[in-house]
Amino acid sequence: MAKLDYLLSILWLLRSHKKMTAEQLAERLELSVRTVYRYIDTLGMSGVPIISESGHGGGFRLPDSFLSVPLFFELTELKAMEHSVLLARQADYPFTDALEKARTKIEHRLQESQLEDLRRHVGSIHIPSPSQSALLHPMLRELEQAIASRETLILQYAKSFSGSAEERHIDPYGLIYRLGKWYLIAYCHQREALRVFRVDRMNSLSLTGRTFEMPEHFSVHDYMSRIHEYQDQNTKENETTLVTVRLQGLTEVLDAICNQWFLQPYLVTRRTDDEAEFRMHPDWMLQYMPYLLLSYGRGINVLEPQQLRTILSETARDLAAYYEG
């Protein structure tokens, strides 16, 4: 058992037994009496008000005003909290400020030697902050609040960055973060079905003051899994109309493409370090794949179909003409 565990065990024993001698503590914890005294001194130096009573009937006890066991953190636990702040900031987590305040409160209770050790370890990991955090934070906070209060929203949403925004009345069910993007799962009143909305494509949202009832036992994770199952089943049922998309490229680029949640149902199991294969409907391929693949430039090469290669070439020429003009 680690030293920290022994310190906490002593506190819990004193709280539950009111008073115990060093011999009783040593017997319960299988320690020497001398070690128990040393741990008692450590707790005292840490600010724990342990009362020592000598003589017959004496022992150690905690004052009645001592209501809770203080928190003790190992270095790995402190590092995990510090890194969680960095990761939250990188993920554009809407309550990063509150998380940083909580971390600061904990740091104020640490000794200077602990702080120095912690800073040395934390400085070894660098996680860059997102460029759009200030833009998404208010939107994410409003969405989280609307989900918690079960309030219907009016959303101005663009399906693509170049498209015009449409008004949607939605019941927000949950947020999900994946591969650098936040998504909202919500019931769309216009479509009369659940839909997935990208938060960075929301131009604005407003509260309606109307509340809704979320389906019992709804789970964002289960819903996303069902989408994949449905897409997979739909793929099998329409096998004759599907096209094969074969990509070649760097392993890390292929990983980034294959990890896109909307592409995973179409991924064929034959995947190598430098090639990936998908089976999908041609309309879906032509609508989404060209713009996705163009973002990876020369890091990806389309082996087939030729139709997709042609569309990529035409789209690239259109972009070049646009900027040359």
Whether this prediction's pTM lies above 0.85 is answered by no
Rounded Cα gap, residues 235 and 291, in angstroms: 22
Give all domains of the chain, ordered by start, each with its CATH number: 3-61 (1.10.10.10), 75-122 (no CATH), 133-218 (2.30.30.520), 222-324 (3.30.70)
pLDDT band at 275 (very low <50, low <70, confident <90, very high): very high
The pLDDT > 90 percentage for the chain reads 24
- Residue 282, pLDDT score: 87
The confidence score (pLDDT) of residue 154 equals 95
Is 228 or 282 the better-scoring residue by pLDDT? 282
pLDDT score, position 67: 57
Report pLDDT digits (tens) over 160-178: 655 678 899 999 999 988 7
At residue 18, the pLDDT reads: 76
Among 78-87, 220-229, 243-252, whose mean pLDDT is lowest?
220-229
The yes-or-no verdict on residue 243 having pLDDT over 60 is: yes
Q: What percent of the chain has pLDDT over 70?
A: 86
Whole-number mean pLDDT of the chain? 82
Closest listed residue to residue 173, CA positions, set 190, 153, 158, 159: 153
Q: What is the dihedral of CA 287, 291, 297, 301, to 10 degrees?
A: -10
Q: 269 versus 94: which is more confidently predicted?
A: 94
- What's the pLDDT score for residue 301? 93
Q: What is the pLDDT of residue 131?
A: 53
State the pLDDT at residue 80: 85
pLDDT band at 69 (very low <50, low <70, confident <90, very high): low
Q: What is the pLDDT of residues 111-161, one digit of tens each?
A: 777 778 788 777 677 766 655 555 678 889 999 999 999 999 999 998 765
Across the range 55-65, mean pLDDT stands at 82
pLDDT for 240 equals: 58
The answer on pLDDT for 246 being more than 60 is yes
Query: Residue 226 pLDDT more than 70?
Result: no
